[in-house]
Amino acid sequence: MALAPVDTTVGEALADIREEIAETEAELGDTDPDAAAHDSLQSLRARLVDQRAGFEHHREHDGWAEDATIRIGAPTAGERALADREAPDDAGAQERTLWVLAAATEEAPWAAGDLSATFREVSQLHPGVTDWCDLVVSDVRGGGTGNPIGRL
């Protein structure tokens, strides 16, 4: 059972991402295009647009319901150890991140029972969704802004 799990739905996640895009676009409009902050805001907007595209893709092509629950948190030490044990020795950083995300998932459209099955599902997700999940896990572990859903 993941630590401090965040409960949301596909629809709530999409609404939060859309709101963050609108806020970022408003900030972009108020920022001098030559300022360093402008580049950071453009990067943030691109990341958010990718997250939105990921959720919309799965909603449209995989039938994710707006009210489908997403419950994801920080994996416990034991869950991380299991993910480490399951990951191949030659797994790169991205693959290890997917194993951690599988261990962090308690309930979601991609949850598939055991760790290996959930990993297989996580590995088929749009990168925008895994990016969103990774940010949620980071925030729950204390590496983020402290607001896992409206977090960037």
Question: What are 119-136's pLDDT values in tens digits?
Answer: 999 999 999 999 999 999
Cα–Cα distance, 6 to 110 (Å, whole number): 16
Q: What is the pLDDT of residues 53-83, one digit of tens each?
A: 999 999 999 999 999 999 999 888 888 888 8
Which stretches of the chain are DSSP H helices? 10-30, 36-62, 77-86, 93-104, 115-122, 127-140
Cα–Cα distance, 139 to 119 (Å, whole number): 21
Per-residue confidence at 144, pLDDT binned at 50, 70, 90?
Answer: low
Q: Looking at the predicted structure, is the pLDDT value of residue 148 above 50?
A: no
The first and second tokens of residue 60, run together, are 């449209």
pTM for the whole structure: 0.88
Position 143 scores a pLDDT of: 59
* DSSP helix/strand/coil, 119: helix
Q: What is the bridge-based pairing of β-strands 3-9 and 69-74? A: antiparallel
Cα–Cα distance, 57 to 90 (Å, whole number): 30
Position 65 scores a pLDDT of: 97
Q: Which H helix or E strand runs over 145?
A: none
Position 83 scores a pLDDT of: 86
Cα–Cα distance, 119 to 151 (Å, whole number): 25
